[in-house]
Every structure is written in C-alpha cells, then in structure tokens.
Amino acid sequence: MRDVAIIGVGMTKFGELWEQGIRDMFAEAAIKAMDDAGVKKIDSFYVGAMSSGLYTYQEHLSSLMADYMGQIGVPGLHVESACASGGSAVRSAFIEVASGISDIVLAGGVEKMWDVEDGTIVLATAADQEYEAYNGVTFPGLYAMIARVYMEKYGLTREELAQVPIKNHKHSVNNPNAQYPFELSLNDVLKSSMVADPLRLMDCSPITDGAAAVILCPLDRAKEFTDKPVRIRAIGAATGPIALHDHKDLTRLDVVKLAGDRAYKMAGLSPSDISFVEVHDCFSIAEIIVAEELGFFEYGTAGKAIAEGQGTYGGKIVINPSGGLKAKGHPVGATGVAQVIEAYYQLSGKAGARQVPNAKFGMTQNMGGSGGSCIVHILEAL
C-alpha cells in the first residue's frame, strides 16, 4: 500500500449561499483545490453528499460535477454516510490512491441545505425511520436525551456545557470561511431559545450551504506539486447502531472509540501524540463525549476539562481550531472534508491567527447520525 499525501485544498465560504446552486458550490471548491495543487486533470473523484436528492432534488452527482468542474470523462462516485459523507469521500479517495489504482484523486463534499422547505425531515433520514423519525424524534431530541443522561451521571452543569460553543465561537473569529465568526458569552448561550431540554439554540450546529475539496496523490510524488504536502498517516472507520435505543450506554459513542482505535493502530500513535483535533460537534454534548472516546480525557471528565480551558490553545489538546460545526457551519456532506482541510492548514503552517504551535499530528472525526457511522483521519506534517 502506498503512502498518501494532500497536495491541494479548496472550499467555499460556509453560510447561506443564495446565489449558488449545488453544482456551483462544488465546482468552486474543486477548481480551487486543483489550482492550489497545480493540476489541470484528475484521475478520479468522489462527491460526499448526504441527501442532495431531497435538499435539491438532484442526484447523479458524479455526472453533474464532472461536467461543471471541467472533468468530463473522469470516473466519479457519490458517497453517502449521513453527516459522515464528506469524511467517507476522503477515505474512499485515500484507498484509491493507496491501492495504486489512481495517482491524482479529488475528494469533495457538498450540501445545499437552505433551499428546502423542511430540512428537519431531510436530516431525520439519518435516524431510524421506523422507531425514531416516525414517532417525531429529531436529532436535537436524541442528543438532548444523551446530554440529560450524561449530566445526571457525571454531574456536568448547564454552565459547563455552555463552554463548548463559547470556545468554538472564539476559535471561529480567525476563520475567514466560518458561517458565524463571532464570540458568545455565557449569557448568550443560556438565554438562547430552548430547542430540546437541556439543549438550547447555541448548543446546536446550524443549517449551512457549502462545499470543500482536497486533492490526494502518492506521497512519493507530492513534492512535484507542493513544498508543503501533508501526509494522511491513518484512517479508521466504523458503524454503530442507527437507533439511539440500541446504544448500551447513552453517555458513550462506541463507534467513535472503534474508529479512533483503528486509526491510532494504523498510525502507530496514541492520543498524547495529537496536537489538535477537529471533532463532530453537531451538538455541545457530542464534542464532550467524542473527546472522551478518542482518549483525550477520562470518561465523565471532558466537559469540566473543556470548561477549565483544556480544549483550547495552551490546554491539553486544541479541539476545533476552525470553530467546529457550531461556528464554522455544518453543510453535512462537506463537513468531513472541511475538517481535513483545517488539519491541512494547521500542519502546513497556513492557519494564520488560529495556528496551533508546533503541530505535528492532527486528527479529524466525522460522524453520522447519533453514532451510526464514524470516520477518523490522522494527518502528519512533513
């Protein structure tokens, strides 16, 4: 198996992109990535998108995107794994390059979420339709149940939970592509609208339009394209129960630990080697549990540790230097790719004011549903 490097990246600004359709956003990100890598032609590509057929009534994305990014004839594939679709696209591209099938492969993700009348119905397709969605349970409701059980079990306070979005919004101020690059106060979080007790509006990631893309090639060719390639050191993937009621412990996300352990094993690394991590903070409680499952904090302690500053610059591990899903935005099909782009920026020293000092290894964790699927990447500065 060949080593694989990232040689170029591109993304749109995340937000309400009323002037762009799904094809325009993907083409913008893809062409930016190709220009960044200095390539005119790719061998293959993958498009991560959770539900373009419901959001925009557009499927057959491989044909559409090949046409609009000027790559007619190139093989392409639409990849779907709910909110982990983007990470799955990067994983698929990694496998194709590592196997030797292709040399120059684009992995992209896109979602156009603002154009649909009822996005709740679309997002609910990532949950169990018969047991959850049919009975009116939404993802805020599912994660609210997780949060309530966690708070009761470990004594996490509502004020401590609020420190997750406060931290992530503070990080986002230095991200020019973030949807909501502004700081939050404790009062902003605690006085925001109740969504599903105990989760308030400021605990929930937003609805977002956006696209992101990366170019991968064999590591031994990377210096042909860039002076600062970033190696994808390892990948880990797993599936878990789609329905929350099938989880053994509502304070755990076993799928994250399984994917993380596989990535650590492939990389020959441990949590102490990681300088920063981009995690899937779809809701505040998700960041806390994921940080524990990836081994950065003991079970039941991450919420308090983050509240004490251990998840930011100068702490134990920088979590979501981009601002995370909460502040950067969450265009579900693009999120996993955007996480990898943030890792690329950090490890190539291009993150500007949000640069993590002396970053050698970075991690990304992209998750579908309430723990139904998970993709973890470990990346390395060269």
Active site residues: 83, 330
Q: Which two tokens stand for residue 213?
A: 């893309």
Say what angle helices 139-154 and 158-172 make with each other, to 10 degrees.
Answer: 120
User: Helix 22-37 crosses helix 61-68 at what angle (to 10 degrees)?
Assistant: 60
Quote the longest CA-to-CA distance of the chain. 57
Going by C-alpha positions, the residue among 202, 208, 247, 252 that lies closest to residue 83 is 208
Answer whether 359's CB lies under 8 Å from 378's CB. Answer: no
Listed residue (234, 220, 341, 368) closest to 278, CA to CA: 341
- Laid out side by side, the sheet with 373-381 consists of 76-79, 44-48, 105-111, 210-218, 4-11, 230-239, 373-381, 361-368, 276-278, 318-319
Cis link prior to 241 (omega < 30° from 0)?
Answer: no
- HEC string for 142-205: HHHHHHHHHHHHHCCCHHHHHHHHHHHHHHHCCCCCCCCCCCCCHHHHHCCCEEECCEEHHHEC
Report CA-CA distances (Å) from 337 to 29, 140, 141, 213, 341: 11, 23, 27, 6, 6
Closest CA to 365 of 316, 268, 296: 296
Q: And the tokens for 181?
A: 């690059």
User: Three-state SS for 223?
Assistant: helix
Q: Scanning the structure block, which residue is given the tokens 């170029």?
A: 8
Q: Give the residue carrying structure tokens 């960041």.
A: 287
Task: For residue 36, give the 3-state DSSP assignment.
Answer: helix
CA distances for 183 relative to 120, 168, 174, 187, 304, angstroms:
27, 8, 11, 12, 20
Angle at 61 between CA 74 and CA 35, to 5 degrees: 55
